[in-house]
Amino acid sequence: MMTRHATMAWGWPAILLHGRGLAPVAPGWTERIRRFGFGLFATLAIVGHAGQAAAVEAGANPGGERFEVTSIKAVRSTLVDTIAALRQRDVARARAAFEAYDSAWNGIEVYINARSKDLYEALEHGFQARIEKAFEAPDPDIAALLAEAQAMLAKYDEAVDTVAKAAALNPLYDDVARLRIVRANLREVIPALKAGNVAKARKSFAAFDDTWDSIEDLIKARSADGYVAIEKGMIEIERALMPERPDVAQVTGLVNDVLAKYNAGLAEVAKEARSRP
């Protein structure tokens, strides 16, 4: 995918849709459009092989851990950071660490939900719900929070152990997780802006932009139109985040539009994953 940054000075060019003609385009967009056209021809081939890359990756190193396991383990550090901050009585840092957990958890929770409803309920609707509510207090009970966070880490380790010992799920679950992991960055933009943290909003969007390339073919395979709409929306979001004080309502609308298209593609992959053994 060609970089979007070079397009900003040129404005949004016309995109080839449904065989219609093209308006003049900025330098670099010829290649983007060429690649999009190639993607249309490749769509049927991709649909029949969704998840194949994940299967190859999982089998390439038989002695290594599955993507599922490494992804779940990667989230654990956010809980460790939460506990460390609470031990130092640094509520602000603990809250930020737990927010990072929530974002990362959203990417991989599909694995836990598929493996054990009981573990999922305990982590999502038990520990997480109680800890988030405790952090809402103006003067949180640090001792109680620390105890909850430590118990949550123990339950999370139980989940890691359960996943590590289980047989691999079908490879489409890895595609679902990859899509959710990348999406997590975009989901952070609106809350950051509403909290007045423009720097975080920009950083989160940049992270989404940087990782979009890794999963864009999964979206393109389900809907070429949805893929183009997301690409267009990303350019508009980047542009809207450029002012010193971005228009929160404008950015919120643009992000929600992209998320809607993204979620439609994700839902298709998730449906395929659940339908296969």
**Structural domain contains residue 174:** yes
pLDDT of residue 100: 96
**Structural domain contains residue 3:** no
Answer yes or no: do 119 and 154 share one domain: yes
Amino acid at 215: I
Amino acid at 40: L
Handedness of CA 23, 26, 31, 35 (dihedral sign): negative
Q: How far apart are CA 230 and CA 234, in angstroms?
A: 6
Q: How many domains does the chain have?
A: 2
Residue listed under structure tokens 């049927």: 44
**Structural domain contains residue 9:** no
Answer yes or no: do 185 and 159 share one domain: no
Domain stop point among 115, 149, 165? 165
Domain stop point among 115, 135, 165? 165
**Structural domain contains residue 103:** yes
Amino acid at 160: V
End-to-end, the C-alpha distance of the chain in Å comes to 33
- Residue 79: partners with Cβ closer than 8 Å, 6 or more residues away: 97, 98, 101, 149, 152, 153, 156
**Structural domain contains residue 245:** yes
What is the CB neighbour count within 10 angstroms for residue 237? 24
Q: What is the domain extent for residue 192?
A: 35-54+170-275
Residue listed under structure tokens 């995109």: 15
Q: pLDDT (tens digit, 0 to 9) for every residue of the chain, 277 residues total? A: 444 544 433 343 333 333 323 334 444 443 444 344 434 433 333 333 333 333 334 333 445 899 999 999 999 999 999 999 999 999 999 999 999 999 999 999 999 999 999 999 999 999 999 999 999 999 999 999 999 999 999 999 999 999 999 999 999 999 999 999 999 999 999 999 999 999 999 999 999 999 999 999 999 999 999 999 999 999 999 999 999 999 999 999 999 999 999 999 999 999 999 998 7
Quote the pTM value: 0.77
DSSP state of 170: P
Per the CB < 8 A criterion, the answer to whether 22 and 16 are in contact is: yes
Answer yes or no: do 174 and 131 share one domain: no
Q: How far apart are CA 125 and CA 3, in angstroms?
A: 40
Per the CB < 8 A criterion, the answer to whether 68 and 173 are in contact is: yes
Domain stop point among 118, 147, 165? 165
Answer yes or no: do 182 and 91 share one domain: no
CATH of the domain at 265: 1.20.120
**Structural domain contains residue 158:** yes
